[in-house]
Amino acid sequence: MTALTLGQILETEQLTVALTTLTEADVEALVAVEKLAYSHPWSLGNFRDAFKAGNLAQGLKAGDQWVGYFVAMQVLDEVHLLNITVAPTFQRQGWARCLLQSLSLWSQAHQASSLWLEVRESNVRALKLYQSFGFEQVGLRKDYYPVGRSSREAAVVMRMALNSTQ
């Protein structure tokens, strides 16, 4: 899978996918994908707040179907990945890596020196993906994510340094 810049199209044997900017008009469809992908999905309010804050929000779309998307926030020279989701039917096909590559390119173009994220300690697949992409664990936030109604789990804090040669 390759990195896409906004408006670019990638054709595979199965689909034609374009990287697009997410808008408020997409929120209900994104929430539907969230509910399929996560036990504790982002809500309508989370997405609306992200749009109001002016966060970067881009997604991969095949026709009228969302393949995946991310929401990120730039603070000075750091970019924080707030949400990355790939629809369950498109998982394990390289789309998360494509999204990360696109975010990395955008971040470098906007003079960011590093990318940051938090991921559930139990999300082994995501941890492996992030590590293979160049993220390193720099901390642990205890009791960060809800698990069920009464317990919580830690978030692994990860950082990836960016440079012009990446």
46-94: pLDDT as tens digits:
999 999 999 999 999 998 899 999 999 999 999 999 999 999 999 999 9
Predicted TM-score of the model (pTM): 0.88
Catalytic residue among 11, 13, 78, 130: 130
Contacts of 63 (CB under 8 A, 6+ apart): 15, 16
| Residue 32, φ and ψ in degrees, nearest 5 | -60, -40
Q: Are 23 and 41 in contact (CB under 8 A)?
A: no
pLDDT at 5 over 70: no
In this prediction, residue 150 carries a pLDDT of: 84
Residue 11 Rama label (left phi>0; alpha psi -120 to 50; beta): beta
Q: Are 160 and 113 in contact (CB under 8 A)?
A: no
Indicate the SS3 state at residue 142: strand
- In this structure, what DSSP letter does residue 38 have? -
12-57: pLDDT as tens digits:
667 888 999 999 999 999 999 999 999 889 999 999 999 999 999 9
Indicate the CATH number for domain 9-161: 3.40.630.30
* Whether 118 is catalytic: yes
Catalytic residue among 118, 144, 145, 153: 118
- In angstroms, the first-to-last Cα distance of the chain is 16
In this prediction, residue 161 carries a pLDDT of: 97
pLDDT at 118 over 60: yes
In this prediction, residue 149 carries a pLDDT of: 81
141-162: pLDDT as tens digits:
998 888 888 899 999 999 999 9
When pLDDT is cut at 50, 70 and 90, the band that residue 138 belongs to is very high
* Whether 13 is catalytic: no
When pLDDT is cut at 50, 70 and 90, the band that residue 11 belongs to is low
Q: Largest Cα–Cα distance of the chain, in whole Å?
A: 45
In this prediction, residue 155 carries a pLDDT of: 93
